[in-house]
Structure formats: C-alpha cells, structure tokens
Amino acid sequence: MNKPHKQTIFSASFLPDFLPGRLAVFLMGFFIGFVLIFSSDAFAESSDNQNSSVQVSDSYVRTVPPGQKNTGVFMTLTNVTDSTKSIVNAKSSAAEIVELHTHINEDGMMRMRQIEKIDIPAKGMTILKPGGLHVMLIGLKQEIVEGKPVGITLEYENGETQEIQAIGKKLQMKMPKMGMKH
C-alpha cells in the first residue's frame, strides 16, 4: 500500500530537529512577534521625537481641579539643525482652543499673553515652563488625568507638524515665604 505523502507548508529547517513541527512553528511565531513588538514605536523611549529637526523631551500637561477649563502644556525643545525653527501653532483634541503663550510683566503684574510663535534657536534649546513660554489649552473637552497622555500637534513655520504625547502631571504651587516681624 502507498502511504499518503504529507505536504510541507512551512519548513523550519533552521530549528533543532528535536522540536516537533507545530512547537517549532509556534516558537518561531512567538519570537517574530516578540521582535516586532519590542522594536515598534510603542516601546520607544519617547514618542515626542518624530520631527528629527526638533527633539521634544519632558513634555507634560498640568492637571487641573474639576471645573477648571484651561491648563498649560510644558516641554523642552531642542533644535539639532543649523537654522532657527519656529512653532507657529498647536492643536489638540483635548481643548476647544490651543494657543501659544508667554508671561509678561505689565505694570508690576505678571500677565499671560498669546504670542505668534515660539522660536527654537539653531543648535539650541527652548524650555516651555510655568511662568514662561507654554502651550495653552483653553476650553478643555476632557479631564486631564495624572499619568495619562494628551495628544498635542505642534505646527512649524515651514509647514511641518510634530505629534507629541504630553503626560498629565500634578504641579504643586509654591507659596512665597513671608517672614513675620513682630
């Protein structure tokens, strides 16, 4: 009698002979999946560096108490090119309006003002921080949760865009020390 010939769909000839066929295929699939997952952007150190000319680090968005509708986004911007780069706009689905802001001293009072652009000098760094330059989220459409990312799109003067994830962060307001004199 003739025995039916088994058709080989997949050959794992590089695997050791002592592994049964299905186990060898399973292990190889597991290994390929493992490599693909851990080499993907999902596990990259930061998803903030998609625009190679400006690197974004330490991006965060300030959490706010319930009912407060505005907050700020802060980050460090590093320009690795030989020319100044300028952010001219920002967008986020987390807010109705997104603006570029700074603080100015006006008649002895610090006031927040919208600005046209944020410059990052050639081979230099610009820090967006509380009390200085920042991205303002106005009319929040979602709660900003500590430790959870908020998507922000930065738009540059040359038309490039850069998607970043700013992490919700609770900031403690520091009260000035006041000495008491008796």
Confidence at residue 161, expressed as pLDDT on a 0 to 100 scale: 95
Neighbour tally for 125: CB within 10 Å? 12
Walk me through the domains of the chain, giving residue ranges and CATH numbers. 54-169 (2.60.40.1890)
- d(CA 94, CA 152) in angstroms, rounded, equals 8
**HEC readout, 106-161:** ECCEEEEEECCCEEECCCCEEEECCCCCEEEEEEECCCCCECCEEEEEEEECCCCE
Helix (H) or strand (E) run with residue 169 in it: strand 161-169
pTM listed for this prediction: 0.68
Confidence at residue 172, expressed as pLDDT on a 0 to 100 scale: 73
Segment among 16-30, 125-139, 161-175 with least mean pLDDT:
16-30
| 120: nearest Cα among 91, 83, 152, 154 | 83
